A = this chain, B = another copy of it.
Amino acid sequence: MIQTLIEKIKKTGAPIVVGLDPMLSYIPKHIQQKAFAEYGETLEGAAEAVWQYNKGLVDAVCDLIPAVKPQIAMYEQFGLEGLKAFKRTVDYCKEKGLVVIGDIKRGDIGSTSEAYAVGHLGKVSVGQNAFYGFGEDFVTVNPYLGSDGVKPFIKVCQEEKKGLFILVKTSNPSSGEFQDKLVDGRPLYELVGEKVAEWGSECMGEDYSYIGAVVGATYPEQGKILRKIMPKTFILVPGYGAQGGKGADLVHFFNEDGLGAIVNSSRGIIAAYKQEKYSSYGEEGYAEAARAAVVDMREDIAGALAAR
């Protein structure tokens, strides 16, 4: 799957993943009203609004980008109905040829991580049959429990030719509270990065491993160091746009080959119509606004890479 992702990045010229993180407050009123008219102001109604919103976004941007990253929490907040919309979104994005990164940040003791891995990347056995649960292509994983919480995910990736992005240095303001603590004079995230490189070394595609890392765009200096510690690791970079990261902050996440990183933007794209810059599209034109924001993001990153 890492090769598919790389080929799609080359083809689109866009090392971009669109975060499908549908807060109700982002969803245009006309979509909400239609969904509520049909299902009431219920969890079903919210899930229908989420799905219609996502479908419009995906239809508008799917030819421009290699991948999407639905954040499962934004669906899980609506309970089972929300998770149905998550599954529907995953399926639809795959139909449209997009690589789907399930942003699930799971991680547990071995047997439990195995269940998550099976449910999100692999197939679960039921009697003589086997079924995909959610069927993403990649998932994000939390490493706090150490190797035996991560290895069941790796095993399923090897069987299914799928991949992971493991949290190393997250984009949020307080990520340093534990991740930056010095261990023998070096921050913990560097040790986690070394582990990711080690785990990934036995899971190589052609030039890159299918065991990737998450490093926030909001920490460009740390990204520079982690790029060196994990030269064969693909880095998923959240935090661009709404969280404060800019194109110029991103250059050190990429290798000389122009690859090695894929940058996520969620709100900055899916709710672009709320920004002054794209306000002429209006709420009704939210999907076209998202398309324009993807084009601008692609140019911002390409410009920054050309200027380095």
Contacts and interface: CB of A to CB of B under 8 A. Distances in A.
Contacts of A174: 145-149
A88 to B, nearest CB: 10
Interface stretch (A4-12, A123-131, A226-234, A273-281): A123-131
B146 A177 contact: yes
A112 B87 CA distance: 18
A110 B218 CA distance: 15
A119 B82 contact: yes
A109 interface: yes
A203 interface: no
Interface in A53-87: 71, 73-74, 76-80, 82-84, 87
A146 B219 CA distance: 15
B170 A109 contact: yes
A191 B178 contact: yes
B87 A80 contact: yes
B181 A188 contact: yes
A94 interface: no
Contacts of A170: 109, 144-145, 149
A108 interface: yes
Interface string A235-251: 00010000000000000
B171 A118 contact: no
B109 A108 contact: no
B83 A80 contact: yes
Given A142-B144, A144-B144, A73 B112 contact: yes
Interface in A267-296: none
A173 B144 contact: no
B82 A133 contact: yes
A113 B76 CA distance: 11
A164 to B, nearest CB: 15
A172 B80 CA distance: 30
Contacts of A74: 112, 115
B42 A126 contact: yes
Contact of A42 (B129, B132, B134): B129
B106 A73 contact: yes
16 contacts: A24-B126, A45-B126, A46-B126, A71-B108, A73-B113, A76-B116, A76-B119, A79-B132, A79-B134, A80-B80, A82-B119, A145-B167, A147-B174, A147-B177, A149-B172, A182-B184
**For the complex of A and B, 10 pairs with smallest distance between CB atoms:** A41-B127, A146-B177, A79-B133, A146-B174, A77-B119, A73-B115, A109-B172, A77-B115, A148-B174, A181-B183
